[in-house]
Amino acid sequence: METMQIEKTSRKGIVLFSEYVAGSAIRKAVKIGREEVLFELRDSKLKGRGGAGFPTSTKWMITAAASAPKKYIVCNADEGEPGTFKDRVLMMEHPEIVFDGMVIAGYTIGAKTGILYLRGEYYYMLEFLENHLSGMREKNLLGKNIIAKEGFDFDIQIRLGSGAYVCGEETALIESLEGHRGEPRNRPPYPVNTGFMGCPTVVNNVETLASVPHIIMKSGKWFSEYGTDKSTGSKLFSVSGDCENPGVYELPWGMTITEVLDIVGAKNTKAVQVGGASGICLSHAQFNRKLSYEDASTGGSIIVFNESRDILHILQNFMEFFVEESCGQCTPCRIGNVKLLEGVKKLRNGNYTFAEIRNLRELGQTMQVASKCGLGQSSPNAFLSILDNFSAEVFQYTSSDKHNGVNNE
Amino acid sequence: MNSKTESRAPVSQQALRVQQPFDSSQIGAMVTIEINEKKMQVPLGTTILEACAQNQVQIPTLCHHKDLCTAGVCRICVVEVDSMKTLQAACAFPITQQIKIKTSTEKVRKARRHIIDLLLSEHYGECYTCVRNKNCELRSLASEYGVDGFTFGHPEKRKHDIDKSSFSVMRDMDKCVLCRRCVRTCIDLQEVGVLEAVGRGDQTHITTFMGKPLSEVICINCGQCVNRCPTGALYTNDPSDDIWRAIDDKKKHVVIQTAPSPRAAICEEFGMAAGTSLTGELNTALRRIGFDRVFDTNFAADLTIMEEGTELLNRLKSVVVDKDTSVKLPQFTSCSPGWVKFIEHFYPEYLDHLSTAKSPQQMFGAVTKTFYAQEYNINPEDIVTVAVMPCSAKKFECNRPEMDSSGFKDVDYGLTTRELAKMIKEGGIFLPEMPKSGFDDPFGEASGAGLIFGATGGVMEAALRTAYELVTGREVPFEKLRIEACRGFEGIKQASVKLKNCVPDYTFLEGVDLKFIVAHGTANARQVMEMLKAGELNDVHFIEIMACPGGCLGGGGQPIPTSPEIRKKRAEAIYAEDESMTIRKSHENPRIKYIYEKFLTDGPCGHKSHKLLHTHYTKRGNFIV
Amino acid sequence: MLIYERNSLVDEIVDLTVEYGKERSALLPILQTLQLRHKCISDFAQQEVARQLSIHPVEVYSVISFYTFLHPESQGRNIVRLCQTISCDLAGKCYLVKAIERELGIKFGQTTKDKRIKLEFTNCLGMCDQGPAMVINERVFTKVTPERAVAILNEVK
């Protein structure tokens, strides 16, 4: 029986896929000291790579400043966003930068424990990652008195998810770690104040943490020279869909969608979904938009659709995803997504009124502001952007058309 | 379950813990905020909802409840906060910095309307036929926010069957709005752990372990979830149609007993403010709608005190004098059927501590179908006994198979305050306008001691009034017989009374410090049990436990809504009525003396009373098959 | 359930609490291990876990019902999860569905009569660049063609 082939290509890239010697950044971080690490991080203007884009240095500084007997660093490897697989590649190909980043984080904020929250779908990585951790322990990069620095104790444990997209939301992830349903908490208080077990906790995306060792080695200023003014450094883009070379690409922030499409070999592209199911769907006219936090923001997912694809079929797929993956806690997200899905089905069989669609559009706007967490707030993005950008196609059906689109297939 | 100080509710549902660099209450840290362009100061950590309430700004709520921790799930209370992109839930947002809040912008109003629309689109059923018609929070919100149509549809089919398995609580999950008040009530407030949210996404619903019927899980029937449900998803099993049928049946002799708590609270069902007892009015109303006799449960409460108090003295004697190790102390009260089922499920190994005395309701039923039938020459077969209780667990209790010591089902129907109010309205009566009248003989006289059973600590206070006097021959040494240590809503109260100069029968108690504990709500009961398990309560003699927060007056059959303030008002009404009574001690009730002379001739805890007035318990355990 | 089966399950759960601790945070690792070993977490196991961790059984049930990979009832000896998210959908998921359903004679969401295979859809497996992707128990298969899918399933015991 064949299993998945673990590709171990020698990728090249400007930051994450550049040269790095395992453990070197930890040594350097300890040499320059906590403050200097935070300063480098601030200079790098590194922002959270999971999608929300919160400045990493701020997160770390708040936690570092908190006086608490215990602090935690959690690496969010619950990569569930449709079309995202960069963390998988990072962890399989470069676990050293991810774990070194965690160790540096632990050192900087004063945490003794790091937790890697690995999504259940990545169970096959567990053994590989555990082996890597054992190797680090042997090399004194984990455990007690790391690199012979007195009092620098830090260890990493891996905890598995069990198939819940919402656990990628940081407070839901913490709830899940604590043994509860993965339901997002009310914020404030934020995890940096009251996180895992009530202790100050930094939750960072895999890619964010993986950027840290490079920043330490090559300075924050170096990092900030890549990308745009507000989106510094590089980004791993997971490209899938209708293109010749799907896969993970490390590109500087600020590239236009057209440029990316060229790189991945996409032809006859009709639409590009930027940011996965919770992102926005752009049409040809918007392909000059730049991939960056300030313009077309993404956690890395880029899905390409060519001219042959039915845009409502795609939208229905996204909405079905949210109906299932909503945690079911808050009203706008739990019921709102069901209503949007019903709306999409109506659009597909032409059995809609414009008044209904207007209501749903407004409902989508309410969901964006009134939902409890990021999942609910971003779940109507695809619906709203497709209605805006593909209105001709969306409203092409009438009930007399024998379109059996409601069928899932 | 281990004893613990912290709440076990998920952190997301716990009260917010805001990191504060200092104790704000000590130095009075205040934050200046703006609500709708009006400046004001509020203490650090106040939620937006509280701040608004203090400043006469109304914010709609649905999942929020004063007795429960924050959930922030319904999102109806969203407001605009100037520095935030998204709307914030007022109930869950603690104010820690200077913010500007707007509570009624277009965005906010639209969001609220949408949320109500969405809830209605999943809310099956018609308001006309709903038990909560006119007292439904969802319905009120819909009318307040001008929802004039089903924008997002309305369900035409049921998704869930109504769970009618329980004697007490019915669940119609098609009316559930998933506010999770019942979950927080069951897990956090009562720590029983029957209801939880199950499933995810659109499949989320509230159910029991493995979705079993309520009668098969460890529900104690306290009905606290019913009291906090904003809609008609949870309600009690209403026997009023059967009672009407019995009233209409000329052959049947229908007697009704009314407990003090419904009398102190039924006014709320008729639009009056909480805190007025309508005892006299109720008596008239009950006769007018056709009950043949109206009795006072307090008589049975007095009887309970005689039995339970005597049992305690007997136990003390066995332990102190006879050194009998098979007799257990402390003795627990057994009047609260929710508590009885709780201990049967969770602490079956401690059932020997539970007083064998039946609850007043059941004692009443037993003497009605024996003593009363005999005295008045009525065939007990034709007697239908109805008990008006503040309680949903009483419905389960009267259906316990062992409750047939009269040879018949001792109490035929348990009726809650809410259901009785409905019957009275159905009978065309506006209760507050009724003239007052008294109770019927032979159970028409009662003491104030029986009356205060309705509030937490009441049984203890009543028992002390009698026991102290039996032992020492003197009245309890408190002004106006107010034993303040028993009163108030503190979760667990602990106190003691020194017994001095005892009468000859009780010299063995000379100098004993009679220690007692009063707890209400099963979460506190659990704590008491864990203390007992840990051996911390070995010197305690008597423990009163009521399953519901506040005691019977906060029972699961009482008018909705409930809140700490409302329960306080009800307690005030009960204590005021006690002080207006001439007889304040159970053993001084002439009717009690009479029944022991005429009927229970071998005295309290004698052979006959053992047969009629005492019961046994079932070791149920908490394994769900 | 036989008594000795129960006893061994209790022992197993006690061992797990030794490994993962008795705090609530140990709940998911314990449930995941039980799921892995027994293919389900029976109501007895749930109550025993609840007892060991001092929480209510309904809370354990609630947690199980939240996570897609945990099941209170046995689903079948092998669980086949086919990714239904957009990239795999574009890559030809529907052909796989038709082929597999035709071959096994059951629909997705159902279990074969001999309890050998349970078919399920799942959301994004993170294999979008190599779709369509399929997971059998814990093993991932990528770029699955209908023909290969059927061949793989036929080999599953």
Span B284-336, pLDDT tens digits: 999 999 999 999 999 999 999 999 999 999 999 999 899 999 999 999 999 99
Q: What is the CA radius of gyration of chain C?
A: 18
Distance CA B175, CA B525 (A): 31
Is the domain defined by B115-236 classed in CATH 3.30.70.20?
yes
Q: Give alpha helix (H) positions in A110-219.
A: 126-138, 170-177, 206-218
> 10 Å Cβ neighbour count for A157?
12
Interchain pair B2, C65: CB under 8 A: no
Distance CA C46, CA B608 (A): 46
Residues 37-76 of A with CB under 8 A from B: 66
Give the one of C54, C58, C66 whose C-beta lies nearest to B209's C-beta.
C58
DSSP type of residue C143:
S
Q: What is the pLDDT of residues B23-32, one digit of tens each?
A: 445 445 889 9
Instruction: Choose the closest CB to C141 out of A4, A181, A277.
Output: A4
Numbered ranges of CATH 3.10.20.600 in chain A = 234-306
Inter-chain residue contact C54 with B1, CB threshold 8 Å: yes
Pairing of strands C78-83, C134-136: antiparallel
Alpha-carbon A302 to chain mean position: 12
pLDDT at B72 over 80: yes
Q: Give CATH 1.20.1440.230 domain extents, chain A.
A: 311-401
Angstroms from C42 CA to nearest CA on chain B: 10
Helix, coil or strand: residue A54: coil
Q: Tell whether C131 is within 8 A of chain A (Cβ).
A: yes
Preceding peptide of C146 cis, ω within 30°:
no
Domain presence at residue C71: no
Q: Is residue C1, in this structure, part of any structural domain at all?
A: no
User: In this complex, which chains have at least 3 CB pairs below 8 Å with chain A?
Assistant: B, C
Q: Is A289 helix (H, G, I), strand (E, B) or coil?
A: coil
Distance from CA of B498 to the nearest CA of A (A): 45
So what's the pLDDT on residue B28? 59
Q: What domain range is C85 assigned to?
A: 78-156
Same domain, C57 and C126: no
CA-to-CA distance for B393 and B334, rounded, in angstroms? Answer: 13
The tokens describing B282, both together, are 């109720």
Instruction: Please tell me the predicted confidence (pLDDT) of residue A11.
Output: 77
Q: Sheet with B383-389: list strands edge to edge.
A: B293-296, B253-258, B383-389, B413-416
Q: What is the mean pLDDT of residues C53-74?
A: 95
Q: What is the pLDDT of residue A321?
A: 97
Is the bond preceding C29 in cis, omega lying within 30 degrees of 0? Answer: no
The CATH fold assigned to B240-299+361-433 is Rossmann fold (3.40.50)
CATH number of A234-306: 3.10.20.600
Condensed to tens digits (0 to 9), the pLDDT of residues B489-526 reads 999 999 999 999 999 989 999 999 999 999 999 999 99
Across the interface, do B624 and C47 touch by the CB < 8 Å criterion?
yes
What distance in Å separates the CA atoms of residue C135 and residue C125, rounded to the nearest whole number? 8
Report the distance separating Cα B325 and Cα A274, nearest Å. 76
- Cα–Cα distance measured from residue C112 to residue C96, given in angstroms and rounded to the nearest whole number: 17
- H or E stretch covering B469: helix B458-472
Token pair of B164 as six digits: 């009618």
Work out the number of other CB atoms within 10 angstroms of the CB of residue B214: 21
Question: What's the CATH code, domain A24-224?
Answer: 3.40.50.11540
Check A180 against B93: CB less than 8 A apart.
no
Is B193 in Cβ contact with C59 (below 8 Å)? Answer: yes
Task: Summarize pLDDT for B148-167 with one digit per residue, the tens.
Answer: 899 999 999 999 999 999 99
Q: How far is CA B461 from CA B258, B303, B355, B467, B589, in A?
A: 21, 15, 16, 10, 16
Q: In chain C, which ranges are continuous DSSP H helix? A: 3-20, 27-38, 43-53, 57-66, 86-90, 93-104, 146-155
**What residues contact B440, with CB distance under 8 A and at least 6 apart?**
B293, B294, B295
Terminal C-alpha separation, chain C: 25
Fold of B13-104: Ubiquitin-like (UB roll) (3.10.20)
DSSP 8-state class, residue B435: P
> Which CATH number does the domain housing residue C141 bear?
3.40.30.10
Rounded to an integer, what distance in angstroms lies between the CA atom of residue A17 and that of residue A234? 10
Q: Strand, helix or coil at B193?
A: coil
User: Can you tell me whether residue A399 is helix, strand or coil?
Assistant: coil
Question: Quick check: B208 and C62 CB within 8 A?
Answer: no
CA distance B495 to B510: 18
Among residues A223, A240, A362, A225, the alpha carbon closest in space to that of A298 is found at: A240
SS3 for B615? coil
Q: CB B244: neighbour CB atoms within 10 A? A: 16
Chain C from 39 to 78: CB within 8 A of any B CB: 43, 46-47, 54-59, 61-62, 65-66, 68, 72
pLDDT band at residue B364 under the 50/70/90 scheme? very high
**Inter-residue contact B453 to B391 (CB < 8 Å):** no
Considering CB atoms only, which of C86, C97, C128 is closest to A314?
Answer: C86
> Residue C132: inside a domain, yes or no?
yes
| Reported ipTM | 0.95
Q: What is the pLDDT of residues C73-124, one digit of tens each?
A: 988 899 999 999 999 999 999 999 999 999 999 999 999 999 999 999 999 9
pLDDT reported for residue A136: 96
pLDDT tens, position by position, B372-429: 999 999 999 999 999 999 999 999 999 999 999 999 999 999 999 999 999 999 999 9
Q: Collapse the DSSP code of B384 into the 3-class scheme (helix H, G, I; strand E, B; otherwise coil) and give the result.
A: strand
CA B611 to chain CA centroid, Å, is 28
Q: Which of C10, C17, C25, C56 to mutate to test the interface with B (most CBs of B within 10 A)?
A: C56
CB–CB of B202 and A193 under 8 A? Answer: no
DSSP three-state, residue B592: helix
Are C131 and C84 members of one domain? yes
Residue with tokens 């009698």: B466
Helix (H), strand (E) at residue B337: helix B337-346
Q: Which of C26, C43, C66 is the last residue of a domain?
A: C66
Angle between helices A95-109 and A86-93 (to 10 degrees): 90
Residues 378-397, chain A: which have Cβ within 8 Å of B? none
> What is the CATH T-level fold of the domain B316-358+446-562+580-624, as seen in this structure?
Fe-only Hydrogenase (Larger Subunit); Chain L, domain 3 (3.40.950)
The per-residue pLDDT for B256 is 96
Confidence band, pLDDT 50/70/90 cuts, at residue B4? very low
Distance, CA of B525 to CA of B543 (rounded, Å): 10
**Residue-range domain boundaries for chain B:** 13-104, 115-236, 240-299+361-433, 316-358+446-562+580-624
Report helix, strand or coil for C69: coil
Nearest to C140 by CA among C99, C80, C78, C52: C80
The reply to whether residue B201 touches residue A328, judged by beta carbons under 8 angstroms, is yes
Give chain A's residues under pLDDT 50.
1-7, 404-409
Burial category of B426 from C-beta neighbours within 10 Å (exposed 0-12, middle 13-18, buried 19 and up): exposed
- Answer whether residue C1 shows pLDDT above 90: no
Q: For residue range B163-216, what is the model confidence (pLDDT) as tens digits?
A: 999 999 999 999 999 999 999 999 999 999 999 999 999 999 999 999 999 999
* Amino acid A1: pLDDT: 29
* Mutate which: B152, B173, B179, B180, vs A, most A CBs within 10 A: B152
Sheet holding B100-102, edge to edge: B38-43, B30-35, B100-102, B78-81, B88-89
Q: Do C82 and C146 reside in the same domain of the chain? A: yes
**pLDDT higher than 70, residue B21:** no
Residue C93 lies in a domain: yes
Shortest alpha-carbon distance between residue A267 and chain C (Å)? 15
Domain A311-401 has CATH 1.20.1440.230: yes
Residue A5 CB-density burial (10 A; 0-12 exposed, 13-18 middle, 19+ buried):
exposed
B154 forms beta bridges with none
Residue A50: what pLDDT? Answer: 87
Residue C2: inside a domain, yes or no? Answer: no
- Which residue from C minimizes the CA distance to B8? C55
CA of B382, closest CA in chain A: separation in Å? 52
Question: What residues are paired with B257 via a beta bridge?
Answer: B295, B387
Write out the catalytic residue numbers of B: 308, 311, 335, 355, 394, 397, 402, 552
| Rounded Cα distance, B324 and C54, in Å | 34
3 state SS of B47 = strand
Question: Does A238 contact C129 at a Cβ distance shorter than 8 Å?
Answer: yes
- The one-letter code for the residue type at B6 is E
Query: According to the model, what pLDDT value does residue B621 have?
Result: 94
**Any B CB within 8 A of C25 CB:** no
Give the residue among C69, C149, C135 at the shortest CA–CA distance from C101: C149
Q: Any bridge partners for residue B413, and if so which?
A: B386
- Enumerate the CATH 3.40.50.11540 domain ranges in chain A, comma separated: 24-224
Tell me whether A361 touches chain B (CB under 8 Å): no
Q: Do B193 and C62 touch (CB under 8 A)?
A: no
Task: Name beta bridge partners: B498.
Answer: B513
Average pLDDT over residues C131-156: 92
Q: Which residues contact B591 (CB under 8 A, 6 or more apart)?
A: B299, B302, B442, B443, B444, B445, B446
H or E stretch covering B84: none
Domains held by chain C: number: 2
**pLDDT more than 90, % of chain B:** 90
| Whole-number pLDDT of residue B625 | 84
Q: Rounded to 5 degrees, what angle do the CA atoms A89, A93, A98 make?
A: 85
First to last CA, chain B: 19
The pLDDT score that the predictor gives to residue A400 is 62
- Let me know if residue C91 belongs to a domain: yes
- Helix H, strand E, coil C: the string for A82-129 is CCCCHHHHHHHHCHHHHHHHHHHHHHHHCCCEEEEEECHHHHHHHHHH
Beta bridge partners of B32: B41
Report how far residue A92's alpha carbon sits from residue A81's, in angstroms, rounded to the nearest whole number: 18
**Predicted pLDDT of residue B298:** 93
Measure the CA angle with vertex A61, ends A60 and A66; round to 5°: 100
DSSP annotation of B185: I
